[in-house]
């Protein structure tokens, strides 16, 4: 197995290459499809249809955006966490879907990336639903780990032979510092997920935003200290912003 690290639009794309098949460790951005096809067909000199499985670690634009389109083009299968329902459900879910797309656009702008299409369906019907500790279909050396907290369905992927773990957005690297992601809907689950990774003692971890790194005990403890104890979500952020001016006015009085 050869693991390719490819610069996606706003995240690292992880593509595992085998002699007879390809595994995409996450669902990328919608705008990454053309570049991914170019990499597989020209750099690897393989048919695009060799893409066998795409894992969607969670439903955010840079992790699920290309999944449906890749399945339609290549015939690949899609695997997600075994969690019932859709992440973006109901009216609030649709609003959050639009908000997440706008956040992705903002990140791209800050990274000085070109304006590309981030739109993707808020609904996803997987071919496989993976439980914690279950091996990936057709890729038995990879194990799915439930690492919820960022959302209710986050997955990490543990490569057993190398003891490396792709943790998606469980940890984010910003200015050479490791921090929790935004949002965190389930703070208790998030802390439990961090402890799960620490217990594994991985050789290295691979971040969707930060590449392959090795964290020290100090790094992990710092992450646990930064981990929120109450949900840190879009709605709470908006409420805090709305509350701030009132607080300032009240203080001035």
pLDDT, tens digit only, all 253 positions of the chain: 999 999 999 999 999 999 999 999 999 999 999 999 999 999 999 999 999 999 999 999 999 999 999 999 999 999 999 999 999 999 999 999 999 999 999 999 999 999 999 999 999 999 999 999 999 999 999 999 999 999 999 999 999 999 999 999 999 999 889 999 999 999 999 999 999 999 999 999 999 999 999 999 999 999 999 999 999 997 766 656 656 554 444 444 4
Which two three-digit tokens encode residue 144?
């799915």
pTM listed for this prediction? 0.93
pLDDT score recorded for residue 250: 42
CA distance 158 to 16: 13
pLDDT score recorded for residue 175: 87
Pairing of strands 204-207, 211-213: antiparallel
CA distance 56 to 136: 12
Which two three-digit tokens encode residue 139?
């890729």
Three-state SS at 17: strand
CA distance 135 to 160: 10
CA distance 167 to 160: 14
Which two three-digit tokens encode residue 99?
């908000």
Residues for the chain: how many in total? 253
Residue 142 burial (C-beta neighbours within 10 Å; 0-12, 13-18, 19+): buried
pLDDT score recorded for residue 247: 47
Domains of the chain are: 2-226 (3.60.15.10)
DSSP state of 175: T
Three-state SS at 205: strand
Residue 112: φ, ψ to 5°? 60, 40
């Amino acid at each position: 197995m050869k693991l390719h690290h490819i610069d996606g639009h706003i995240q690292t794309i992880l593509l595992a290459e085998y002699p007879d098949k390809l595994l995409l460790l996450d669902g990328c951005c919608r705008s990454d499809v053309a570049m991914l096809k170019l990499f597989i067909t020209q750099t690897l000199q393989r048919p695009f249809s060799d893409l066998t499985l795409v894992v969607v670690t969670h439903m955010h634009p840079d992790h699920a955006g290309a999944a449906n389109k890749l399945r339609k083009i290549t015939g690949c299968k899609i695997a997600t966490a075994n969690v019932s329902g859709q992440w973006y459900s109901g009216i609030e879910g649709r609003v959050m879907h639009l908000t997440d797309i706008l956040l992705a656009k903002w990140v791209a702008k800050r990274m000085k990336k070109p304006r590309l299409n981030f739109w993707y369906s808020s609904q996803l019907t997987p071919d496989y639903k993976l439980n914690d500790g279950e091996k990936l279909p057709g890729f038995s050396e990879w194990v799915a780990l439930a690492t919820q907290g960022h959302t209710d369905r986050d997955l990490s992927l543990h490569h057993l032979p190398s003891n490396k773990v792709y943790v998606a957005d469980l940890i984010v690297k910003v200015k050479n510092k490791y921090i929790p992601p935004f949002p965190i809907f389930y703070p208790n689950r998030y802390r439990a997920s961090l402890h799960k990774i620490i217990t594994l003692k991985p050789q290295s971890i691979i971040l969707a935003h930060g590449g392959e790194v090795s964290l020290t005990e100090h790094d992990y403890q710092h992450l646990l200290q930064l981990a929120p104890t109450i949900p840190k979500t879009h709605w709470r952020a908006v409420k805090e912003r709305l509350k701030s001016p009132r607080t300032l006015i009240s203080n001035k009085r």
